[in-house]
Amino acid sequence: MYKINYNNIGYSYNNDSKDTLLSAALRSNIGFPYECNSGGCGACKFELIEGEVEELWPKAPGLSIRDRRKGKLLACQCKPTSDLEISISNLTMEQPAYKPTNFSAKVIERQFLSEEMFALHLHTDSETSFIPGQFFMVKLAGIGTRAYSAANPVNGNKLTFIIKTVPDGKVSQQLAYSDVVDLNIDGPYGTSGLTLADEEKSVFIAGGSGIAPMLSMVQTLIRQEYEKPIFVFYGSRIEDELIVAKELFGEATNLTLINVLSDSLPGSDWQGETGYIHDVLPKYLDDLTSTEFYLCGPPVMINAMQKLLMVENGVSFSKIHFDRFF
């Protein structure tokens, strides 16, 4: 057992757990700043004051060259190998609503939704608890660990991921095309789940596989008979994904789904919106106040949306919940 101290908070680290510093803190019900748990965002940066760590991914893009020069490290990519004294400058650290746990799941079905995207339906060995919008880490032994967002509302032992295959992607290709059935999963993680307050409407904006957490959140709202307007803007370069999105989101009187095809190919008879979501959105929403925004997709899409909402329209940062898929 190692003792970890940071900013006057202390917790114990079980040496047999193979946990990272971040997971161990959250499992001890201690808040720690983070976003992606995947080495991409840099939100979990810390400074090592005393002790030693093993870095799991020394070249993780979440640290800049300047960060490395200053000796910064990522809590989601480090395991302690002694007692530690560390310091964190990012003080946004809420206690987790649900402590992440390790559990097993069986693949029940792989359902292809387009040539690149599939739903992985799982039966978990214990009931899952999460806030819609949160994600889980799927660990494939000897291959890698990747984050996938829950695509269904909380539903006992059922858990669904919607995954895009990445060309030569180690984990996505394996999950799509191998006959792997037994999975090791850890979660939930994530800090940008469904947040209901005094908003007048909720707006969901997703690109590609960013549809997964949006489905979990929107279907939860529909089940809870949420009566305020729900707008979903979904962008993809693949027409089949836009067609399937209609079926996946379903219908509700207060739900408006705007599908946006990013590239209309020659010969396409697509009649809907085309281009970037950040260009299309202002046509549908003229009032962006009293609105909760949920953004999910590649970092470049999130950056463009944040610029539109915060810089050009003065939307407060606290009203924008986002997950960048690194």
Ligand X SMILES: Cc1cc2nc3c(=O)[nH]c(=O)nc-3n(C[C@H](O)[C@H](O)[C@H](O)COP(=O)(O)OP(=O)(O)OC[C@H]3O[C@@H](n4cnc5c(N)ncnc54)[C@H](O)[C@@H]3O)c2cc1C
The item of ligand X, ligand FES, none sharing an interface with residue 171, based on CB under 5 to 8 Å by kind, is ligand X
Residues whose CB falls within 8 Å of the CB of residue 265, separated by 6 or more in sequence, listed in order: none
Q: Which is nearer to ligand X, 140 or 285 (CB)?
A: 140
| Pattern 68-87, ligand FES, x by CB under 6 A | ------x-x-----------
Q: Which of 13, 34, 135, 234 binds ligand X (CB under 6 A)?
A: 135
Contact 89, 117 (CB under 8 A): no
Measure CA of the first residue to CA of the last residue in the chain; give whole Å.
32
| Least spacing, CB of residue 230 vs ligand X, in Å | 20
Per rule CB under 6 A, is residue 36 in the interface with ligand FES?
yes
Per rule CB under 6 A, is residue 212 in the interface with ligand X?
yes
The item of ligand X, ligand FES, none sharing an interface with residue 34, based on CB under 5 to 8 Å by kind, is ligand FES
The CA radius of gyration of the chain, in Å to the nearest whole number, is: 20
Residues whose CB falls within 8 Å of the CB of residue 146, separated by 6 or more in sequence, listed in order: 38, 137, 138, 171, 172
Stretch that binds ligand FES, among 40-48, 177-185, 268-276, 304-312 (CB under 6 A): 40-48
| Least spacing, CB of residue 164 vs ligand FES, in Å | 20
| Least spacing, CB of residue 75 vs ligand FES, in Å | 6
The item of ligand FES, ligand X, none sharing an interface with residue 166, based on CB under 5 to 8 Å by kind, is ligand X
User: What is the C-alpha separation between 266 and 168, in angstroms, rounded?
Assistant: 28
The item of ligand X, ligand FES, none sharing an interface with residue 43, based on CB under 5 to 8 Å by kind, is ligand FES
Residues in the chain: 326
Per rule CB under 6 A, is residue 172 in the interface with ligand X?
yes
Q: Which amino acid is at 172?
A: S
Give the neighbor-by-neighbor strand order of the sheet with 291-297. Answer: 273-274, 255-261, 230-236, 201-207, 291-297, 320-324
Best CA proximity match to 138, nearest among 111, 171, 163: 171
297 phi and psi, to 5 degrees? 155, -160
Stretch that binds ligand FES, among 29-37, 124-132, 164-172, 249-257 (CB under 6 A): 29-37
Strands 291-297 and 320-324: parallel
Cis omega (within 30 of 0) for bond into 188: yes
Per rule CB under 6 A, is residue 215 in the interface with ligand X?
no
Residues in touch with ligand FES (CB under 6 A): 34-44, 62, 74, 76
Residues in touch with ligand X (CB under 6 A): 36, 38-40, 57, 135, 144, 146-149, 161-164, 166, 169-173, 209, 212, 323, 325-326
